[in-house]
Amino acid sequence: MIENLFFRISRALNYALKAKGKHSIHSPILFNFLNVHLKNTSKNQDRNQRILNALITCFKIQSVWIEEEIALLDCIAGQPAHKNSADLVIVHSTSFLDKELLPAQKRQIIAILGLNKNSNNLKSFLHLKSTKQVIFSLDLWTIGILIYNYPSLKQDFILRYF
C-alpha cells in the first residue's frame, strides 16, 4: 500500500517535471494527432475514449483487439481474433508483454491503459519503448501509446494533455 503510494507520488512529480505542452513538441505525427484529431473529438467522452478515438481517426485504424476485461470502448471497429492481426491493441495490464507481440511485421499501435496505476505497467511500457521495433512512444499519464514499424525516426514523448 505504502509502496504503491510512494510510486504514484514519485511518478507524478517526475511526470510534472518532464512533461511538455503541445507547443513545445515539433513532430508532424504528434502535431497532426493533437491539433487535428484530438481537438475534434467529442468532449462528452472520458479522456481515454477521446484519445483512442483520435488514434483511430489519425492512423486510419481498420481493426482493433481489446483485452477482454476492458469495457470502456463504445464505437470501435471489428475485433480480430488475434492481437497480431490488429492495427490497434488496447490493454490495461502487463499480460500483453509476450513473445508473440514483439516481432510485429506491420505497423501496429499498442495503447496501455492505466499506465501509472502500478509500477508493472510502467516497467512494461518502458521495456517495450526501448525495443528496436517501437518507433514512436507517447506517455499521456493515463495512457501510453507505442507505435511499431512506423516510417519515421525513433521519437519518445511525455506530453501534458488536459
For the chain, give every domain's residue range: 2-158
Whole-angstrom distance, CA of residue 59 vs CA of residue 4:
35
Question: Which pLDDT score is estimated for 80?
Answer: 63
Residue 89 has pLDDT above 80, yes or no: yes
- What is the chain's mean pLDDT, rounded? 81
pLDDT single digits (tens) 118-130: 888 888 898 889 9
Residue 142 backbone phi and psi in degrees, to 5: -90, -15
Question: Which pLDDT score is estimated for 122?
Answer: 87
Asked if residues 121 and 114 have their Cβ atoms less than 8 Å apart, the reply is yes
Question: Which pLDDT score is estimated for 137?
Answer: 92
Which is more confident, 71 or 106?
106
DSSP E strand stretches across 106-152? 108-113, 134-139, 143-148
Average pLDDT of 23-50? 82
Whole-angstrom distance, CA of residue 117 vs CA of residue 104:
27
pLDDT single digits (tens) 90-112: 888 766 655 555 556 778 899 99
Query: Which of 109, 157, 154, 158 shows the shortest CA–CA distance to 135?
Result: 154
Query: How sure is the predictor about 2, in pLDDT bands with cuts at 50, 70 and 90?
Result: confident
Question: Which pLDDT score is estimated for 99?
Answer: 53
Residue 78 has pLDDT above 70, yes or no: no
Sheet containing 134-139, strands listed edge to edge, beginning at the edge strand earlier in sequence: 64-66, 88-91, 108-113, 143-148, 134-139, 155-158
pLDDT single digits (tens) 6-22: 888 888 888 888 888 77
Residue 155 has pLDDT above 70, yes or no: yes
* CA atoms within 13 A of residue 109's CA, in its CB half-sphere: 23
Q: How many C-beta atoms surround the C-beta of residue 90 within 10 A? A: 25
Question: Which pLDDT score is estimated for 8?
Answer: 83
Q: pTM of the predicted model, to two decimals?
A: 0.84
